[in-house]
């Protein structure tokens, strides 16, 4: 019996292993396939036909999609600057569609896509936690990226009269009739015409409509016409907004003042100048539209300035804007020089000595103009030592923008005379007296260590710091450093000096507004974000008393998911800047954030562009 028992013991592991292997094989056979992208419509990739400005893109998957996983972060279109392209997402059973915003301006440059441009479509996949997921929870196996190319005018397919694809609707292009005359605020004379289909932007002109003031049957000439869209608009199709201005222009010459009780009519014209849809089909004629002029106007949704003292650009050291005496103007001072040496941002230890060539950080070799080193801005990074050698002549570092010293600053040479002043002095005089001086038309940030190589004395000053902005001190300044600051505007509540002054001597300096002769300076600034109310998604921009030469562009951002009272800081969640002029319409998502980018070119001897106020008015 013993051999039999031993035989059974040797067979037992094999008998147990057989069902285990069978179960493992069964589980392997039931493992689901990978969740992947099946195809796109239209096809994308090398050799694909270019898209039109309003073409949607649909991505099909190998399994049903989990709708909550489809977000603006998991399915994104970016431009060549890495900014998110506006558009909307629709989710089906196993597909996701990106619908671009069509252009509304006559130059076709204000939509999601631009003619001839290239974009990237990104679909997030594993291992990202926010990847697109299947309905059963599986993440997309791998991310997918496609290049989108938009057709140029010469690449339009046959039968397409413009860069916009005609819509497959059986509804004709009609002007929606209204049963009663519509109210028109006397100081917001903007008429709204609602159509059943989108209008071709290039067909919109003042010759397409006739506006009459019924009081004397005069024909009024619109100040502007623009197509507008709004997700809050109860009318599908398209809306044409006709701006008559505060004093409408009469077609025969002159202007007229509207009064409450006036009646205005609008008729559509026919012929070659008629309004058309994307397929170039003209609008069908209908009855005239009527408006009654009433009291009232527009309310402000956002205003600038509102307590701010400066508007700086993406690089806060470069020349920006300031708010002085109720005017937004470039922050420039003649004493700050012309900036001809460019940006000083050294990458290695550098010595600044009058007349000696040096690398400002971009590979060029430049030299001072006598004792003056005129830069657009100064940024000495941590880990870099800059020596200001005033052994043979004074050293004056000038910046049209701001100065930031995060690295080490070494002062070489004998100190300048110390002159105590009870009253403010001209900045140019203080510069002339200093042995080593740093002057900024913007803010001055002294965060690094400053070391003087000569013995300090009671009647000498090793360094003079002059600023038309604020001064931030992070390290102890050398004994008897002179801090010369421009008097702040009365409305400024933020301290001019932040940090410990130590044994520095503070005095007031008078700067001269403007730029030196021969200067050619680009100035850029960004206003703070303002959030629109949850029931408003658009408004008209007013650039109050804006000078010629001042350019403005608006930018929108969605609320942050974790802090809805703040804009989303990610670049991909911010729209690209859109140029605007006074009276232009801005349309963004309800409750989104808006800011304005200001830019101007300031030249010596030419008037400096300014603007008194920026407003976004309810339409």
What is the tens place of the pLDDT at every residue in 565-596? Answer: 999 988 878 888 999 988 888 888 888 999 99
* 19-42 mean pLDDT: 69
pLDDT given at position 228? 80
Both 72 and 19 in a single domain? Answer: no
- Residue 318 belongs to a domain: no
What is the tens place of the pLDDT at every residue in 172-219? Answer: 899 988 877 888 888 778 898 999 999 999 999 999 999 999 988 899
pLDDT given at position 178? 80
Rounded Cα distance between 318 and 314, Å, is 9
Q: Is 228 helix (H, G, I), strand (E, B) or coil?
A: strand
Both 549 and 424 in a single domain? Answer: no
pLDDT given at position 20? 46
For 390-512, strand residue ranges (E) read 395-399, 403-405, 408-412, 416-417, 425-426, 436-440, 444-446, 450-452, 460-461, 464-467, 471-473, 482-486, 497-498, 505-510
The structural domain count of the chain equals: 5
Both 354 and 480 in a single domain? Answer: yes
Both 485 and 538 in a single domain? Answer: no
Check pLDDT > 80 for residue 63: yes
Query: 459, 485, 510 — which closes off a domain?
Result: 510
Check pLDDT > 70 for residue 24: no
Both 540 and 458 in a single domain? Answer: no
pLDDT given at position 113? 93
Both 497 and 349 in a single domain? Answer: yes
The residue whose two tokens read 């106020």 is 613
* 76-83 mean pLDDT: 90
The residue whose two tokens read 């977000």 is 71
- Give the pTM: 0.67
Asked if 504 and 483 touch (Cβ cutoff 8 Å), the reply is yes
Q: pLDDT band at residue 29, thresholds of 50, 70 and 90? A: low
* 462-488 mean pLDDT: 91
* 452-475 mean pLDDT: 88
Both 348 and 408 in a single domain? Answer: yes
pLDDT given at position 47? 84
- Residue 548 belongs to a domain: yes
Check pLDDT > 60 for residue 146: yes
Rounded Cα distance between 273 and 268, Å, is 10
Q: pLDDT band at residue 417, thresholds of 50, 70 and 90? A: confident
Please name which of 188, 111, 266 lies closest in space to residue 540, comparing C-alpha atoms: 188
CB atoms within 10 A of CB 210: 15
Both 362 and 343 in a single domain? Answer: yes
* 382-407 mean pLDDT: 96
pLDDT given at position 141? 94
- Residue 85 belongs to a domain: yes
**505 φ, ψ (degrees, to nearest 5):** -105, 120
324, containing H or E segment:
strand 321-324
Both 199 and 146 in a single domain? Answer: no
Please name which of 282, 196, 283, 289 lies closest in space to residue 242, comparing C-alpha atoms: 289
Check pLDDT > 60 for residue 6: no
Asked if 131 and 125 touch (Cβ cutoff 8 Å), the reply is yes
List CB contacts of 164: < 8 A, sequence separation 6 or more. 52, 53, 54, 102, 103, 108, 200, 278
Q: pLDDT band at residue 428, thresholds of 50, 70 and 90? A: very high
What is the tens place of the pLDDT at every residue in 117-133? Answer: 999 999 999 999 999 99
Please name which of 138, 109, 127 lies closest in space to residue 36, comparing C-alpha atoms: 138
What is the tens place of the pLDDT at every residue in 277-311? Answer: 998 899 998 888 999 998 876 778 899 998 888 99
What is the domain range of residue 428? 333-510
Both 70 and 110 in a single domain? Answer: yes
Both 469 and 529 in a single domain? Answer: no
- Residue 327 belongs to a domain: no
Higher pLDDT among residues 104 and 187, named by residue:
104
CA distances from 6 to 15, 17, 235, 523 (A): 15, 18, 88, 94
Query: 136, 155, 174 — which closes off a domain?
Result: 155
pLDDT given at position 285? 86
Angle at 365 between CA 361 and CA 370, to 5 degrees: 105
Please name which of 516, 541, 560 lies closest in space to residue 598, comparing C-alpha atoms: 541
pLDDT given at position 503? 83
pLDDT given at position 454? 81
| Token output for 296 | 């009232």
429, containing H or E segment:
helix 427-433
Q: Is 618 left (phi over 0), alpha (psi -120 to 50) or beta?
A: beta
For 566-569, the CB contacts below 8 A with 24+ separation are 566/529, 567/529, 567/531, 567/593
Query: 459, 489, 510 — which closes off a domain?
Result: 510
* 102-106 mean pLDDT: 87
Q: What percent of the chain has pLDDT over 90?
A: 58
- Residue 160 belongs to a domain: no
* 59-88 mean pLDDT: 92
Alpha helices in 193-344 (DSSP H): none
- Residue 328 belongs to a domain: no
pLDDT given at position 450? 94
Q: Is 263 helix (H, G, I), strand (E, B) or coil?
A: strand
Assign residue 49 the CATH number of its domain. Answer: 2.60.40.1220
Mean pLDDT of the chain: 88
Rounded Cα distance between 82 and 571, Å, is 7
- Residue 506 belongs to a domain: yes
Of the CA atoms within 13 Å of residue 614, those in its CB half-sphere come to: 28
Both 348 and 497 in a single domain? Answer: yes
Q: What string of H, E and C letters represents the secondary structure of 450-476?
A: EEECCCCCCCEECCEEEECCCEEECCC
- Residue 317 belongs to a domain: no
């Amino acid at each position: 019996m013993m051999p039999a028992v031993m035989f059974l013991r040797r067979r037992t592991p094999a008998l147990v292993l057989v069902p285990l292997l069978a179960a493992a094989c069964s589980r392997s056979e039931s493992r689901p396939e990978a969740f992947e992208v099946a195809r796109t419509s239209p096809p994308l990739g090398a050799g694909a036909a270019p898209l039109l400005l309003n073409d949607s893109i649909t991505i099909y998957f190998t399994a049903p999609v989990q709708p909550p996983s489809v977000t603006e972060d998991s399915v994104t279109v970016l431009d060549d600057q890495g900014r998110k392209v506006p558009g909307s997402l629709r989710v089906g059973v196993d597909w996701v569609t990106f619908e671009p915003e069509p252009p509304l301006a006559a130059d076709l440059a204000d939509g999601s896509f631009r003619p001839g441009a290239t974009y990237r479509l990104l679909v997030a996949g594993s291992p990202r936690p926010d990847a697109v997921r299947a309905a059963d929870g599986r993440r997309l196996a791998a991310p997918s990226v496609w290049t989108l190319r938009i057709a140029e005018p010469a690449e339009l397919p046959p039968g397409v009269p413009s860069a916009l694809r005609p819509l497959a609707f059986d509804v004709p292009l009609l002007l929606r009739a209204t049963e009663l005359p519509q109210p028109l605020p006397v100081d917001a004379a903007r008429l709204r015409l609602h159509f059943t289909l989108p209008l071709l932007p290039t067909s919109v002109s003042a010759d397409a409509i006739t506006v009459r003031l019924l009081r004397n049957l005069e024909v009024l000439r619109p100040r502007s016409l623009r197509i507008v869209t709004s997700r809050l608009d109860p009318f599908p199709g398209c809306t044409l907004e006709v701006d008559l201005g505060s004093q409408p222009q009469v077609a025969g010459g002159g202007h007229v003042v509207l009064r409450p009780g006036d009646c205005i009519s609008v008729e559509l014209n026919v012929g070659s100048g008629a309004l058309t849809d994307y397929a170039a089909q003209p609008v069908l004629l209908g009855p005239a539209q009527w408006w009654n002029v009433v009291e009232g106007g527009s309310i402000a949704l956002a205003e600038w300035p509102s307590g701010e003292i400066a508007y700086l650009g993406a690089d806060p050291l470069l020349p920006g804007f300031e708010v002085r005496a109720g005017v937004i103007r470039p922050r420039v001072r003649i004493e700050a020089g012309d900036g001809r040496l460019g940006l000083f941002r050294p990458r290695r230890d550098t010595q600044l000595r009058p007349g000696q060539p040096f690398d400002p950080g971009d590979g060029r070799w430049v030299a001072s103009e006598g004792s003056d080193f005129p830069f657009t801005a100064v940024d000495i990074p941590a880990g870099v030592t800059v020596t200001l050698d005033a052994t043979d002549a004074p050293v004056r570092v000038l910046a049209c923008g701001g100065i930031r010293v995060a690295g080490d600053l070494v002062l070489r040479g004998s100190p300048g005379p110390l002159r105590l002043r009870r009253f403010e002095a001209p900045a140019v005089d203080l510069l002339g007296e200093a042995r080593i001086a740093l002057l900024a038309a913007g803010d001055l940030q002294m965060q690094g260590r400053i070391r003087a190589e000569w013995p300090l004395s009671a009647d000498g000053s090793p360094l003079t710091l002059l600023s038309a902005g604020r001064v931030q001190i992070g390290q102890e300044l050398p004994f008897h450093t002179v801090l010369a600051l421009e008097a702040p505007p009365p409305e400024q509540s933020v301290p001019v000096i932040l940090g410990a002054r130590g044994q520095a001597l503070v005095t007031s300096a008078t700067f001269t507004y403007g730029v030196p002769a021969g200067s050619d300076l680009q100035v850029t600034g960004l206003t703070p974000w303002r959030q629109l109310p949850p029931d408003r998604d658009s408004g008209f921009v007013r650039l109050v008393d804006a000078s010629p030469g001042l350019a403005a562009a608006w930018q929108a951002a969605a609320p942050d998911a974790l802090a809805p009272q703040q804009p989303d800081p990610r670049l991909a969640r911010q729209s690209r800047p859109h140029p605007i002029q006074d009276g232009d319409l801005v349309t963004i998502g309800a409750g989104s954030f808006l800011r304005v980018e200001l830019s101007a070119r300031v030249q010596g001897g030419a008037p400096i562009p300014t603007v008194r106020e920026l407003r976004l008015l309810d339409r």
